[in-house]
Amino acid sequence: MVFDDKLDSMKEAGVGPVVFPHTRHEELYQCEECHPSIFKDKRGANDMSMKANMDGQFCGTPACHDSIGAFPLYMCNKCHTNVKQP
Ligand code: HEC
Ligand code: HEC
């Protein structure tokens, strides 16, 4: 799945769309661990943003990309394509 609802803001920040590997997450977790409490199971139904992620919602939910179990939120290029190198 590719998330690019916030593309204008991403361009300003020098990052590209997010590639979310849904299948990989299905292999690692139960559907109910994400749906419906963290993510509504409908494309585009979640108003995701980096602020929300950093506030502990969506991808940044505790025990997700905010823990030793998964790469952290500062590794922009693990989620965003086309990250500009400084
Ligand atoms: C790690 C969290 C996670 C897990 C586990 C997960 N999903 Fe999802 N799922 C998502 C996200 C994120 C989206 C995209 C939501 C959006 O676009 O706002 C999504 C989207 C969906 C959609 C909507 C697809 C569409 O085209 O509208 C369905 C249906 C869905 N998931 C079903 C499942 C089922 C069934 C499982 C278990 C086999 C599962 N999900 C496991 C995170 C997860
Ligand atoms: C775990 C995955 C993940 C990581 C790591 C990540 N992001 Fe994001 N980011 C997302 C998702 C998901 C969205 C929402 C995408 C959408 O719905 O359009 C997003 C949205 C954004 C947006 C646009 C919306 C907004 O909030 O302005 C910017 C800019 C952004 N990210 C920058 C960054 C930067 C810079 C980093 C590294 C410091 C980073 N992201 C790391 C997943 C991630």
Q: Longest C-alpha distance within the chain, in Å?
A: 39
How much is the pTM? Answer: 0.96
Summarize pLDDT for 7-33 with one digit per residue, the tens.
Answer: 999 999 999 999 999 999 999 999 999
Structure tokens at 36: 């419906």
Domains and CATH numbers, the chain: 2-78 (3.90.10.10)
62: cis peptide before it, omega within 30°?
A: no
Q: Which parts of the chain fold into alpha helices (H)?
A: 7-13, 22-28, 31-34, 50-54
Instruction: Compute CA distances 59 → 37, 38, 45, 85, 86, whole Å.
Output: 12, 9, 15, 23, 24
Query: 70: Cβ below 6 Å to ligand 2?
Result: no
- 26 φ, ψ (degrees, to nearest 5): -65, -35
Atom of ligand 1 nearest to the CA of 28: 5
Query: 26: Cβ below 6 Å to ligand 1?
Result: yes
Q: Are 34 and 40 in contact (CB under 8 A)?
A: no
Query: 22: Cβ below 6 Å to ligand 1?
Result: yes
- 3: pLDDT strictly greater than 70: yes
